[in-house]
Amino acid sequence: MNNYEVIFDTAVRDYLSELSHKGQSSRTVKAYGSAIGYFRKHKSENSGWESAPSLTDVRSWRDSLLDKGTSAGTVCYYLGVLRVFFEFASDIELGEDRYFESNPVLKKIFPKTKKSEEQKPYDKILTPEDIMKLWANERVHRTDFLWARNYAIVTLLLDAKIRNAELLDLRLCDIHFASGEGDDIYNYLIVNNGKGNKYREVDLTDISVTALKLYLKSGYRPAELSDDDYLFGTTAEHKFGGKNSGAEEWHRGTGSWLSALVERHVRQVTGKSGFRSHSMRHNGAIIELNNGVSAEALQAELGHSSVATTQLYSGKLQSKRNRRSMKEVMEVRDEWAEKNKRILEGA
């Protein structure tokens, strides 16, 4: 290794260590490390390390990604990660200890992206009628256990408003159904590794509780699994680095698997397309605000570090007349919770 390569690797190591110490999740740290690693590989294979990373290197990497068919949005993400890394590595406050003299990643070289609804799922708002259809446990799939799984996932995302990764990380032991004894006098789930590695408890309403119990009774989740295994795992094969992993035992689903599942379920139930998994969380938050929940209370429920983030949803508030329809949404939610209870009693 020559000197610039050693300096770069040292800076990367120290930067990722700083992220970890500041509370970033291990998944985020790994993703940032991978993005920076892609740039490192490109420079090694092209200009080499006889000189420090330059604007020319960054442009060359950008162009190679675009030439390979990488979407402009993904390229912007990679460049954004690299830019923040070099902000750390070239921070003037480090004085003589800074790794590089300047940041070679300029904002003006970021490719233009199409600001579509798909890129901003929180801009896609479900109508009250759509939401009421999603509450309804009226099977539209041919397979009962697939319906039970998908209904439970969409209900939990919409009602409990947890993040995609939080849902995928759930294990059966994280779900606590009320038993009337000790601490289990109400229903809740535990998020052990929320954004920033934060822990929080999320109350479960009856619609979420009944949807989860119906899912567990469906038989989709193998009976031989332990409480420490994933709640919503899958046995479907998935890809690592572009290669099929082959048949798998029960394992954590991927974000793309979850998002495709949700989009398909919402389309089959409502006829609307483009509503992917994270949009359920946003729509759930908007329902709460339209029903009078304060931004501060919603902040705690969503796990936002700042109420300012939660207040971004306030722009989606409806008129007073339309808010009355949201009360009907909640009434239908509670009605279907009662219907689900009767289904469970008869199961």
Structure token digits, residue 210: 């009944």
Do 163 and 296 belong to one domain? Answer: yes
Tell me how far apart the alpha carbons of residues 337 and 331 are, in angstroms, rounded to a whole number: 10
CATH number at residue 323: 1.10.443.10
Same domain membership, residue 104 and residue 125: no
Q: pLDDT tens digits, residue range 268-278?
A: 999 998 888 88
> Which residues make beta-bridge pairs with 244?
239
Count: domains in the chain: 2
Of 109, 132, 155, the last residue of a domain is 109
Q: Render pLDDT for 19-74 as a digit per residue (tens, 0 to 9).
A: 888 877 788 899 999 999 999 999 999 999 999 999 999 999 999 999 999 988 89
Query: Would 26 be classed as within a structural domain?
Result: yes
Which position has the token pair 């949005």?
73
For 188-236, what is each residue's pLDDT tens digit?
Answer: 999 887 666 678 889 999 999 999 999 999 999 999 999 999 999 998 7
Q: Last residue of a domain, which of 77, 109, 141?
A: 109
Strand-pairing partners, residue 1, are: none
Q: Which of 339, 332, 335 is nearest to 130 (CA)?
A: 332
Same domain (yes/no): 75, 126 = no
**Lowest-pLDDT range of 117-131, 267-281, 310-324:** 310-324
User: Are 127 and 182 contacting, i.e. CB atoms less than 8 angstroms apart?
Assistant: no
- In 3D space, the residue among 209, 175, 207 whose CA is nearest the CA of residue 191 turns out to be 175
Same domain flag for 243 and 202: yes
The arithmetic mean of pLDDT across residues 310-333, rounded, is 68
Phi, psi of 243 (to 5 degrees): -110, 135
Q: How confident is the model at residue 313 (pLDDT cuts 50, 70, 90)?
A: low
Tell me, yes or no, whether 237 lies in a domain. Answer: yes
Residues 184 and 305 in one domain: yes
Q: Grade residue 247 by pLDDT with cuts at 50, 70 and 90.
A: very low
Q: How many CB atoms lie within 10 A of CB 62?
A: 23
Query: How much is the pLDDT for 28?
Result: 85
- Please tell me whether residues 63 and 165 are part of one structural domain: no
The range of the structural domain enclosing residue 220 comes to 121-346
Co-location of 195 and 83 in the same domain: no
Same domain for 178 and 266: yes
Domain assignment of residue 114, yes or no: no
The structure tokens listed for 103 are 């940041």
CATH number of the domain residue 51 falls in: 1.10.150.130
3-state secondary structure of 239: strand
Q: Does one domain contain both 212 and 330?
A: yes
Answer yes or no: is 65 within a domain.
Answer: yes
The arithmetic mean of pLDDT across residues 112-127, rounded, is 62
Cα–Cα separations (whole angstroms), residue 31 to 15, 16, 118, 196: 13, 10, 22, 14
Across the chain, mean pLDDT equals 85
Question: What is the CB neighbour count within 10 angstroms for residue 103?
Answer: 19
Question: Other CB atoms closer than 10 Å to residue 273's CB: what's the count?
Answer: 13
Q: What is the mean pLDDT of residues 128-156?
A: 89
- Tell me how crowded residue 289 is: count the other CB atoms within 10 A of its CB: 20
Which value, in Å, is the radius of gyration of the alpha carbons in the chain? 23
